Amino acid sequence: MPALTVLPKVAAMSATSVTVSSYPPLNVQVHTPRLSLLGATDDLLERLVPVVRRGVATTEPWPFDDPMSLYKDSPEREWAWLRAVWAGRGRVGDSFWRLYFVVVVDGEPVGMQDLIGADFSTFGMVTTFSWLGPDARGRGLGREMRQAALHLAFEGFGARQATSDAFTDNHASNHVSRALGYQPNGSDWATRRGEAAELNRWRLTREEWSAGRRDDIELGGVAECLPVLGIRDPGGH
């Protein structure tokens, strides 16, 4: 399988170097020195299917009961995942949006990073959700992709705060939140394999993000996406 061609950061959205979608959210890109977040087009999702197929959960700690269907067998597993992304991509408006990004490292898709906003124009708050294929874990990519998503949220969209949830025994996710300056924000409950499990909740304010913000992350396609998300004044947050 040939490697994906990741666009140069400066020319990421050049009309001469990419096929631009008629739907602006699919044109948004975030580039760091280690990885790129690329809008989840059908072509990229198809390239990610083998990673989804290999990623079935077989050991604890169990992840969320998520639309990715982490416990189903192939091919129902891939079908459920694709249907969830397709449905989520179409549910976009002022009151709610969820942007899906394929995480690309060295030209290969390795996972997904989502950025979610609910009543963003009122609250300026986003939530992140992500997963990595088994072969990509333990390399610091989880932290890098979260930083990329936060840069898009705060710098690109003008967010006021970001939140994240993780099961108490998901040490990797909790470590990323703590390392990036999130503060504990109480607890909650969710299900995994149909069983209740406790979550740690985290919150990162714009001021806390600014204190550790990076200057080596670049954005593409943001301005054209703002009207689709109902963001009229990103500087106003």
pLDDT averaged over every residue in the chain: 87
Tell me, yes or no, whether 237 lies in a domain: no
Tell me, yes or no, whether 152 lies in a domain: yes
Q: How far apart are CA 212 and CA 75, in angstroms?
A: 42
Q: Is the dihedral of CA 22, 26, 30, 33 positive or negative?
A: negative
Taking 90 as the threshold, does the pLDDT of residue 23 lie above it? yes
What is the full DSSP assignment across 149-198?
Answer: HHHIIIIIS--SEEEEEEETT-HHHHHHHHHTT-EEEEEEEEEETTEEEE
Domain that holds residue 126: 24-231
* pLDDT in the model for residue 40: 97
Tell me, yes or no, whether 10 lies in a domain: no
Q: How far apart are CA 61 and CA 74, in angstroms?
A: 21
Please tell me the total count of domains within the chain: 1
pLDDT in tens, 65-91: 554 556 677 888 889 889 999 999 999
- Per the CB < 8 A criterion, the answer to whether 99 and 78 are in contact is no
DSSP H or E segment with residue 235: none
* pLDDT in the model for residue 57: 66
* pLDDT in the model for residue 59: 67
Taking 50 as the threshold, does the pLDDT of residue 17 lie above it? no
* Cβ count near 166 (within 10 Å): 20
CATH number at 189 reads 3.40.630.30
Taking 50 as the threshold, does the pLDDT of residue 203 lie above it? yes
Tell me, yes or no, whether 12 lies in a domain: no
Nearest to 161 by CA among 118, 198, 194, 130: 118
Structure tokens at 59: 């050991």
Q: For residue 5, name the pLDDT band (cuts at 50, 70, 90).
A: very low
Which residue bears the tokens 């997963």?
A: 131
